[in-house]
Structure 1
Amino acid sequence: MRQRWLGVFPAMTTQFHEDQSLDAAGTGRHVEAMVESGVGGLVMCGSLGENQAMEPDEKVEVVRTAVRAAGGKVPVVVGIAETSTAKAVRAARDFARAGAAGFMIMPPMVYRPDNAEADAFFRTVGAATDLPWMLYNNPIAYTVDITPTRLAEFADIPNLIAVKESSSDPRRIIEIRLLLGDRFDLFVGVDDLILESSVHGLDGWVAGSGIAFPAENQRLWDLLQAGRWDEARALYRWFSPLMKLDTHPKFVQYIKLMTQEAGLGTEWVREPRKPLAGEERERILAIIRRGIETRPKG
């Protein structure tokens, strides 16, 4: 029987100090809070984790920190976002030695590969270790689109076990199911499409905004999995304005500010990103504080 990845796999932030140095202890504390909430796994060093703003040794330290904090209770999946195949292969092997349970592999960064180049990249990096991996499909951010038909061409890769589908088209879920059945564990990666995507049958959710509200995030997932649609819709209505903060170019700053307001982290980011300021900061704070004030009881 093949390995399964199931449930909420939050995309974790990497915590920094105000001087932009790595805050490994703060990162570990947030991991512990997420594990306590009942998540199925963790995604470290993804886009929300500011992967490309870190040095290779810092990424390894984040992985080791997360593995220690998770304590073997859930798998630690690590994002691979590199500009060359060689760097991506090296990262996969470094993360494996640091204790990663598997990888979420993004297409090549910066360069826009054609289909053949992207396919070769995924295959080569995925084969760098025998650990399981998740293919991250996000054509909006990364230009590469692994359509259901193209995904079928990857079905022969034994350690490719999951797909993070972030094309913003919930129909992709049913299209993949019709074409490939249960060959891959299907994760949605767009927060404010979780309800719509769940109708088609999901195995998991790489959640962003929910790292600030882990109990509510897990509750929503559980309701959706149980088919308790009326309760899920009510919770989703409260969550929706917060979830939309995950679909903006400054989603890292927005979500870090949200975790700070919720008492689970700090807002500090690494340049070229800057903390929010002025009218934008006040506007986003108003959304976050409204969410906290109206947070469902119990």
Structure 2
Amino acid sequence: MNWYGVMPAMTTSFDEQMRVDHPFMVRHANWMLDQGCTGLVLLGSLGEASTLTFEEKVAILNAIAEGTGNRAPIVAAISALSTQEAVSLAHAAAAAGCSGLMILPPYVYKGDWLEMKAHVAAVMQATPLSCMLYNNPVAYGVDFLPEQIAELAAEHPNFHSVKESSTDVRRVSAIRALLEDRLQIFVGVDDAIVEGIAAGATGWIAGLVNAFPRESVELFNLAIAGKNAEAFALYRWFLPLLRMDTVPKFVQLIKLVQQETGMGNERVRAPRLILAGEERSHALATLRTARAASASISA
């Protein structure tokens, strides 16, 4: 498992009967890999994991593993209401041929550090797969502090990476100050990628990449190479779209952008509803402005 580069947090596509559309997901996955993405993250927040059954999750992992033919690492996001279910999903991911796990705190229950550590440890110990810890206190109400991350790193040799989505780029520096290069740090919010790389991040779990993989990969490559002027020129163009990844309706927004760019549809499972009214008009206007200006962007 090479924790590096741009790894899409893949959306989950649904057909007209709201069943998982495996053929499209395979095509979508290969398209993003063709554009230079270095791995695929499935079953995450953007993948609407909370609306998927256990059986649907396993079927997605198997379909993508078979459909991409080991072109790049597949990472399964592990999220569940119970530790027992999380461990079962980790076992299923290993059996499906995944290369890594991205571990989330349990839904709903927001425990203390002792409980959260036990939950994460159980998943890390369930398989020998390389593990990423997903820290997103804004969305999940559980904040893995740098000192706690260091504690996990000391105890679990297959803990290799952190997806840092606290929106505070100082967290990248704080983790590196404690652990140097022991863990690879990924930026988990789209509109902090250039700042995160400047602080030492070496990867990006990205959202808008589902519709704009070429631009996402180019932005990452420019930033990691220290080509600041070129990176910021592309970033300035991209930011209005990237900010769609940071609001409560990010799933609806990103799926709408996919539909409008010809790579997907906007169907979402309830309780989510597709965008309507002013929200929809504003999103479409933002996309139109970006696409009108894209010809002047060297990406």
Q: How far apart are residue 4 of structure 1 and its match? A: 3.4
- Asked if 1:279 is matched to 2:295, the reply is no
The answer (yes or no) to whether the contact 1:75–1:100 under 8 Å persists in 2 is: yes
The answer (yes or no) to whether the contact 1:60–1:94 under 8 Å persists in 2 is: yes
Tell me which residue corresponds to 1:68.
66
Tell me which residue corresponds to 1:221.
220
- Asked if 1:8 is matched to 2:1, the reply is no
Q: Deviations over 1:84-114 (max 9, x none)?
A: 0001011111121112111101001011111
Tell me which residue corresponds to 2:208.
209
Distance 2:102 2:288 in 1: 32
Tell me which residue corresponds to 1:52.
50
The answer (yes or no) to whether the contact 1:4–1:161 under 8 Å persists in 2 is: no
The answer (yes or no) to whether the contact 1:13–1:49 under 8 Å persists in 2 is: yes
The answer (yes or no) to whether the contact 1:41–1:77 under 8 Å persists in 2 is: yes
Cα RMSD of the aligned pairs, angstroms, is 1.1
Tell me which residue corresponds to 1:195.
194
- Asked if 1:233 is matched to 2:206, the reply is no
Distance 2:101 2:176 in 1: 22
Tell me which residue corresponds to 1:260.
259
The answer (yes or no) to whether the contact 2:234–2:298 under 8 Å persists in 1 is: no
Distance 1:133 1:260 in 2: 32
Distance 2:16 2:245 in 1: 23
Matched residue SS, 1:199: helix
Matched residue SS, 1:154: helix
Distance 1:25 1:278 in 2: 31
**TM score, norm. by length of structure 1:** 0.97
**Which of structure 1's runs of 4+ aligned residues deviate more than 4 A?**
none
Distance 1:95 1:52 in 2: 17
One-letter code of the match for 1:167?
S
Distance 1:153 1:222 in 2: 31
Distance 1:134 1:95 in 2: 14
Q: How far apart are residue 231 of structure 1 and its match? A: 0.2
Matched residue SS, 1:9: strand
Q: 1:18 to 1:297 in 2, by over 3 A?
A: farther
Figure out how many residues of one structure are paired with residues of the other and give that number: 296
Q: How far apart are residue 70 of structure 1 and its match? A: 2.2
Distance 1:72 1:198 in 2: 27
One-letter code of the match for 1:109?
Y
Q: How far apart are residue 68 of structure 1 and its match? A: 2.1
The answer (yes or no) to whether the contact 2:135–2:166 under 8 Å persists in 1 is: yes
Q: How far apart are residue 69 of structure 1 and its match? A: 2.8
Matched residue SS, 1:113: coil
Q: How far apart are residue 297 of structure 1 and its match? A: 5.3
Tell me which residue corresponds to 2:15.
17
The answer (yes or no) to whether the contact 1:152–1:179 under 8 Å persists in 2 is: yes
Distance 1:62 1:291 in 2: 32
Distance 1:129 1:144 in 2: 24
Distance 1:29 1:288 in 2: 23
Tell me which residue corresponds to 1:90.
88
Tell me which residue corresponds to 2:141.
143
Tell me which residue corresponds to 1:29.
27
The answer (yes or no) to whether the contact 2:245–2:254 under 8 Å persists in 1 is: yes
One-letter code of the match for 2:77?
G
Q: How far apart are residue 133 of structure 1 and its match? A: 1.0
Distance 1:154 1:81 in 2: 18
**TM score, norm. by length of structure 2:** 0.96
Distance 2:128 2:245 in 1: 32
One-letter code of the match for 1:114?
D
Return 5+ residue gaps in structure 1 as ranges.
Answer: none
Distance 1:246 1:56 in 2: 25
More helix by share: 2
Tell me which residue corresponds to 1:269.
268
Matched residue SS, 1:206: strand
Return 5+ residue gaps in structure 2 as ranges.
Answer: none
Distance 2:26 2:71 in 1: 14
Q: Deviations over 1:123-175 (max 9, x none)?
A: 00111111111000001111111111111101120111100001111011111
* Counterpart among 24, 38, 41 of residue 40 in structure 1: 38
The answer (yes or no) to whether the contact 2:10–2:43 under 8 Å persists in 1 is: yes
Distance 1:44 1:288 in 2: 25
Matches within 5 A, 1:125-164: 125-155=123-153, 156-164=155-163
